[in-house]
Amino acid sequence: MFARVCLIIIYLSSICLNSIAQLHPLYTYQQLSDVYYSHEKDSLKKAWQCPDIYPAKATQKKFREIWDDRTDFIITAIEKQNYVYEADVYNYLLGIVNQIAVANPGLFAQQPLLLLDRSASPNAYATGGNILAVNLGLVHFSQSREELALAIAHELSHNILNHPENAMKERAEWLSSDEYKNSLKNVLNSKYGRFSRLKEILENYSFSRSRHQRYHESDADSLAIILLKNCHIGFNAEYFLHLDSADIQYRQPLQKPLADYFTAYGLTANTDWMQVHSKGLSTKKYSFSDTSGIDDSLKTHPDCEERYKATLAGSDKNATVTPIPANVYNKATKMLIWNMFDDMQLTTCLYRILQEKDKGNKDEWYDFMMYNIFAGLYYNDKELHRFNAIGIIPKEYISKDYYQLQTMLEQMPAENLQQYCATLQNAGFWASCTTDEKDLKKFITGLAAESSNADKARRNSANDFINNNSTSMYCEFAAQFKKN
């Protein structure tokens, strides 16, 4: 793993939500990374030639392997559509990057390549080679432009300080060192089997435990604060404390009883579906009210408290706080919700929608997604994939409401699912949907319909959808059925 990390906050209530339906698409199918960054992908392969720095052949060989792994990581991520170009969100982030770069000219030899990662995890990462990636989840989660800027400045600092390159060098040196070889020998001579597994642990664990990593984090924080001061973006150390709450997204309770969200659509949700009936381990008492926290090693952002204390001296409590514009927040949120649906993570996707409803968001796009979720679940049920599509999350990470929703999606009978789809299909919100959204409805509805040669029929309707809506972002979903 490369240097990853940083920022966050909650309090989204302060963000003004747009209640008017978005009549414009978020992005086009061609703005997904495989097409949009095809040029960058090719030039990256050429530009990232491993430098010859070690006279010892074994060390140089290791270094080259690690270097090429990094190139593969980025290339594969681009090909897998992990990144997207959406002008409003992208340019907002780029504005922050440019503001930092212009005010710190000596530190930026060239314009960094900014990538917008579709992950919902509140994170950003630097890969070296002048690349910086910001997750949609970070845009959704950050409370202000200043917080986002801190995460960006921290990642830019990793690149400026050559941390990714140094980490690759240190790793190559470690893996070809006598100390490592001797540890390996001991593993070989030990009575325990599964050599390859132990080797893997030794390679990664011993390495990531190295104290260098910690120094890297605090060095990046220190430089980030300087970068921000130079471009007059306020820094408040409390951002690090807010970052500590990054893992509680699904532990936040809903504002209403779960059934009420469905009643609003004229759907009946039987509370019996939300209770686990099976006997055994799963019925073991579990207290959702215990929020004593997740083990630090499982956190997206460990050591937040430490980072807060270490940077307190440079902190300005009265720093200006600039809200993230509503269109940027809304688009980032929709994009990450769509991505969850496309990945068939239906519970998390639906929970995010209910959280948006709690914030007073009336945008009909979320109703359209509500239909997609139930129709998608019904389709998966017919294909006997329902359990996978629900995507079970362990109780430690979720609220009681999330657990009820997860249980409901698991247990509601297929005929009720079908009823949900039928009711939602005829709901009033479709009047404000775009042509490609209505076409997607036809496509998803057709997926679950009986057919003697289902695969062929699905392939044909996927082709029809793509041909009729060639620039639609929803082609991504249809394309999965084209391949089958």
User: Interface residues with Zn ion (CB under 5 A)?
Assistant: 3, 5, 220
Write down the least CB distance from residue 4 to Zn ion, Å.
Answer: 7
CA–CA separation, 54 vs 72, rounded Å? 22
Write down the least CB distance from residue 301 to Zn ion, Å.
Answer: 9
Write down the least CB distance from residue 377 to Zn ion, Å.
Answer: 38
CA–CA separation, 144 vs 9, rounded Å? 8
Write down the least CB distance from residue 2 to Zn ion, Å.
Answer: 10
Write down the least CB distance from residue 304 to Zn ion, Å.
Answer: 12
Write down the least CB distance from residue 81 to Zn ion, Å.
Answer: 25
What are the residue ranges of helices labelled H in 285-411? 304-311, 326-342, 346-358, 365-382, 386-390, 400-411
Compare residues 5 and 167 and give the one whose CB is closer to Zn ion: 5
Identify whether the C-beta of residue 30 lies closer than 8 Å to the C-beta of residue 161. no
Compare residues 214 and 362 and give the one whose CB is closer to Zn ion: 214
Write down the least CB distance from residue 156 to Zn ion, Å.
Answer: 11
Residue 219 burial by Cβ neighbours in a 10 Å radius (0-12, 13-18, 19+): middle
Residue least distant from Zn ion (Cβ): 5
Compare residues 12 and 74 and give the one whose CB is closer to Zn ion: 74
Write down the least CB distance from residue 328 to Zn ion, Å.
Answer: 23
Compare residues 3 and 243 and give the one whose CB is closer to Zn ion: 3
Compare residues 137 and 446 and give the one whose CB is closer to Zn ion: 137
Residue type, 35: V
Residue from 20, 22, 25, 21 nearest 436 by CA: 25
Compare residues 62 and 70 and give the one whose CB is closer to Zn ion: 70
Compare residues 242 and 334 and give the one whose CB is closer to Zn ion: 242
Residue from 131, 161, 145, 169 nearest 222 by CA: 161
Query: What sign results for the dihedral spanned by CA atoms 12, 83, 21, 426?
Result: negative
- The label of the residue with tokens 């997207």 reads 84
Q: What is the DSSP letter of 144?
A: B
Token code pair at residue 151: 């995460």
- Residues 6+ away with beta carbon under 8 Å from 39: none
Identify whether the C-beta of residue 310 lies closer than 8 Å to the C-beta of residue 221. yes
Compare residues 197 and 214 and give the one whose CB is closer to Zn ion: 214
Identify whether the C-beta of residue 3 lies closer than 8 Å to the C-beta of residue 144. no
Strand partners, 84: 32
